[in-house]
Amino acid sequence: MRWLINLVNSSIGKKLLMALTGVAMTGWLVAHLAGNLLIFVGAEAFNAYAEFLAKQPWLWPARLGLLGIFLLHVGLAFRLTWENNRARGNDYEFKDASGASYASRSMIITGILVIFYVGIHLADFTFADKSGPFGLYGLVVETLAQPLHGLMYLGFLALIGYHLSHGLQSFFQSLGLHHSAYTPHLKVLTLLASVGLWLGFSSIPIYLMIKGGL
C-alpha cells in the first residue's frame, strides 16, 4: 500500500492520475454526445431519453462520481502547475519544463475556461426549469437557437476540443507510450477523436441556429 501512496504523491503518479481522470471524463463525453444527438430525431425521442435517465436510481450517484473525478482532475492540474513553477529554480528541471511551457500554460488556461463553461451549461440545462410544453427538448432548442448563446457554446466547444486533444496526447505519454515509431500515429488518433467529438457537439447548436427555434 505504501508504494501506491508514494506513487500518487510523486509527479509521475499525479500526471498518471490526472490522465486517467481525463480519459474517464472523455468516456462520459462520448456517452453524453450519443444522447444529445437524439435532438435531431425530435422532441419525443429526446425527452423520452431524458426522462429515462431521470428515473434511474444510479443517476445521482453517477453525477456525484463524475463530480469527484472532475474535482480531482482540476485539483491535480493546479497542483502540478504549482509544482512545475516551483521546480523552475532548478536549471535541469527548468530546461525540461520550458519545452512544455506553452502546452502547460494553454492547458491550464483552457481548463479554467472549461470550468466556467461547465457552470454555464449546468445553469442552462441541468438546473433550469424544464416544465414547458416541450420539456427539455424545448429548453435546449430555444436556448441554443439564440445566435449569441449558440456562438458562445461553439466557442467553448472549440476550447474543449483543443484541451481534449492535448490531454489525450498527455495520457499516452503518462503511460510511457512515447516513441518516434508510433507517437505520430497516436497524435493523429487523438486529433481525430477530439475533432470527432467537437464536430458532434458543435453540430447541435449549428443545426438549431439554422432551424431558428421550435
Q: pLDDT tens digits, the chain, 214 residues: what are they?
A: 676 677 777 888 888 898 899 999 999 999 999 999 999 999 999 999 999 999 999 999 999 999 999 999 999 888 888 887 777 655 444 444 444 556 667 888 888 999 999 999 999 998 888 888 899 999 999 999 999 999 999 999 999 999 998 888 888 877 777 677 777 888 888 899 999 999 999 999 999 999 887 7
Long-range contacts of the stretch 102-111 (C-beta < 8 A, 24+): 103/166, 106/162, 106/166, 107/77, 107/163, 107/166, 107/167, 107/170, 108/77, 108/78, 108/81, 110/159, 110/160, 110/162, 110/163, 111/74, 111/77, 111/163
**DSSP calls for 68-109:** HHHHHHHHHHHHHHHHHHHHTTSHHHHHHHHHTHHHHHHHHH
pTM of the predicted model as reported, rounded to 2 decimal places? 0.84
Percent over 90 (pLDDT), the chain: 54
Taking only the tens place, the pLDDT of each residue in 96-148 is 444 455 666 788 888 899 999 999 999 999 888 888 889 999 999 999 999 99
Structural domain that includes position 8: 2-211
pLDDT at res. 92: 47
Express the helix, strand and coil content of the chain in percent, nearest 5 each: 85, 0, 15
Distance (Å) of CA 23 to CA 51, 147, 155, 208: 27, 32, 22, 29
Q: Which amino acid is at 82?
A: W
135 with 47: CB under 8 angstroms?
Answer: yes
- For the chain, how many structural domains are there in total? 1
pLDDT at res. 102: 62
Taking only the tens place, the pLDDT of each residue in 101-115 is 566 678 888 889 999
- Domain of 26, CATH number, reads 1.20.1300
